Amino acid sequence: MAHTRMFRFDLPVPQQHEPTRLLRMWPPLVMVVATAEAVAVPLRIVLGAQTMPAFAPLDDAAMVVFFIDCVINFRRAAAEEKRSRTEKLLLAADVVAFLPLQLVFGWSFLAFFRCLKLVRVARWMSLWRRLHLNRWNALRLVYFVYWLSLFVHWLAAGWLALRGIPAGEDGWTRYLHSLYWCVSTLTTIGAGDVTPTTNAEILYSMAAMIVGVGMYGYVIANVATIITHLQPARTRHLENLEKLGAFMHERGIPAGLQHRIREYYSYIWEQRLGYDESSIIDGLPQGLRTDVALFLKRDIVQKVPLFAAASDDLVREIALQMQPVIFTPGDIVVRAGDPGQEMYFIGKGELEVFGPDGTTPVAFLRDGDFFGENALLFDKPRNATIRAVKYCDVYMLDKSAFAAVVTRHPEFARQIEAMTAERRGRKKGT
């Protein structure tokens, strides 16, 4: 069973068909351009002529990208029967973001409306985080750093606009000094190194300090929470191990058995990150549960000659009835002479088959093999002993569950009856 882990920036809207690679990569492209504009616009307004030649190509590219994105979003919205209020606001922000208002009216500060594209970016971030729940806390930390960096940049640009750039001084150096003031004020480290001199600067500094106090507490609390929950699965695993250790110590479990138990939980963590497959699948709606079960087990089921010619509906029902089981090294899966009630499908692992005497090895079973099919067809005891050599991920099919499925598929039931009669005839002839 192969699981592919891939981080994708899927389009955050329902699609009838799988989006092309270009459409999947379009939102990240828009995000990069919008971020570049959010950084460049304040600098262009504050530094003026020092930045105009460098940022002119960026403005042209941003206008083209924002216009194309606006067309895409409007076409997608037109296909929807009803637009939500949020979607209408996002479309309005898209339109204003690509309009060259500063060129039409001649006021440079109108370029700030380009930053409205960040509203769409924030929406995408929210949807991406929901699409990648396994990276929820990591994305939360990344997004927090992203927005904090933009805020610090804007605050520094505002301070530079208030102080101005003396004649003959380099604007980029003054911006760096403003950035230092902003960081030191927000973090309360080094505050007072740069003092305000005008009333406007005093008011601006007071507002920055008030914001800094709140942000400082917010940063500490959120970063601590994010780091604590950065690996929730590992945290739960360690908590379970701690409880297990206390239990085994209190009950006086032998050291050898304790070692086997710890090895089992280590295997569960390394292979499945501590999750239980059955509980996760059972929590899904019926349709999704069926699709997931079929994806995980179809290849295994169809390798069995008994199900080779079975219909898709039958294979789907059989897959739903198969239950995951783990055997540790040395476990006896079936013993010769015991009554047979289950059939087993090996997903991963290795098992050794012994003859009727239970001591003579006759074969090995590995990934994709199966055994115990006679238990589903005939009421007779096991004819071999099978022992796990390694950790084995196995799917088990119970006889009663199999019988319930067969009753809903009369054609397959007749095939089984014919197979049973044929085998009994061969046995009688022998």
Residue 381's DSSP bridge partners are 339
Q: Specify the pLDDT at position 138.
A: 72
Residue 354's DSSP bridge partners are 361, 385
Instruction: Name the nearest CA neighbour of 350 among 372, 373, 374, 333.
Output: 333
Q: Based on the domain organization, do 65 and 123 belong to the same domain?
A: yes
- Between 249 and 55, where is the model more confident? 249
Residue 16 has pLDDT above 90, yes or no: no
Question: For residue 192, what pLDDT band results from cuts at 50, 70 and 90?
Answer: low
Q: Give me the helix-helix angle, 52-78 and 21-47, nearest 10°.
A: 140
Residue 243 has pLDDT above 80, yes or no: yes
Domains held by the chain: number:
4
Q: Based on the domain organization, do 155 and 219 belong to the same domain?
A: yes
Report whether 269 contacts 294 (CB < 8 A): no
Boundaries of domain holding 319: 285-429
Q: Based on the domain organization, do 348 and 384 belong to the same domain?
A: yes
- Let me know if residue 218 belongs to a domain: yes
- Let me know if residue 280 belongs to a domain: no
- Between 39 and 82, where is the model more confident? 39
Q: CA dihedral defined by 18, 24, 27, 33, rounded to 10 degrees?
A: -160
Q: What is the mean pLDDT of residues 230-248?
A: 75
Least confident of 169-183, 238-252, 264-278, 315-329: 264-278
Q: Based on the domain organization, do 219 and 240 belong to the same domain?
A: no
Residue 17 has pLDDT above 50, yes or no: no
Q: Based on the domain organization, do 213 and 86 belong to the same domain?
A: no
Q: Specify the pLDDT at position 2.
A: 39
- Let me know if residue 293 belongs to a domain: yes
Q: Based on the domain organization, do 410 and 309 belong to the same domain?
A: yes
- Let me know if residue 103 belongs to a domain: yes
Q: Based on the domain organization, do 401 and 381 belong to the same domain?
A: yes
Residue 279 has pLDDT above 70, yes or no: no
Q: Specify the pLDDT at position 258.
A: 85
**CATH number of the CATH domain containing 159:** 1.10.287.70
Q: Specify the pLDDT at position 82.
A: 65
Instruction: Name the nearest CA neighbour of 6 among 31, 23, 24.
Output: 24
Contacts of 363 (CB under 8 A, 6+ apart): 352, 353
- Let me know if residue 417 belongs to a domain: yes
Token pair in block for residue 13: 């809207």
- Let me know if residue 299 belongs to a domain: yes
- Between 420 and 305, where is the model more confident? 305
Question: For residue 350, what pLDDT band results from cuts at 50, 70 and 90?
Answer: very high
Contacts of 334 (CB under 8 A, 6+ apart): 340, 344, 371, 372, 382, 384, 385, 386
**Whole-structure pTM value:** 0.53
Q: Specify the pLDDT at position 377.
A: 74
Q: Specify the pLDDT at position 15.
A: 42
Q: Based on the domain organization, do 18 and 108 belong to the same domain?
A: yes
| Dihedral pair phi/psi, residue 363, rounded to 5° | -165, 170
- Let me know if residue 373 belongs to a domain: yes
Question: For residue 3, what pLDDT band results from cuts at 50, 70 and 90?
Answer: very low
Q: What is the mean pLDDT of residues 158-173?
A: 82
Q: What is the mean pLDDT of residues 126-133?
A: 75
Q: Specify the pLDDT at position 387.
A: 93
Q: Based on the domain organization, do 320 and 266 belong to the same domain?
A: no
Q: Based on the domain organization, do 245 and 163 belong to the same domain?
A: no
Q: Based on the domain organization, do 406 and 300 belong to the same domain?
A: yes
Q: What is the mean pLDDT of residues 329-358?
A: 87
Residue that finishes a domain, picked among 215, 246, 275: 275
Question: For residue 426, what pLDDT band results from cuts at 50, 70 and 90?
Answer: low
35-to-11, 118, 121, 287 alpha-carbon distances in Å: 19, 7, 9, 40
Residue 207 has pLDDT above 50, yes or no: yes
**CATH number of the CATH domain containing 373:** 2.60.120.10
Question: For residue 14, what pLDDT band results from cuts at 50, 70 and 90?
Answer: very low
Residue that finishes a domain, picked among 74, 101, 131: 131
Judged on CB neighbours under 10 Å (0-12, 13-18, 19+), 56 is: exposed
The CA distance from 260 to 33, in Å, is 55
Q: Based on the domain organization, do 253 and 195 belong to the same domain?
A: no
The CA distance from 324 to 231, in Å, is 25
The CA distance from 97 to 67, in Å, is 9
Amino acid at 117: K
**CATH number of the CATH domain containing 263:** 1.10.287.630
Report whether 94 contacts 66 (CB < 8 A): yes
Residue that finishes a domain, picked among 251, 275, 299: 275
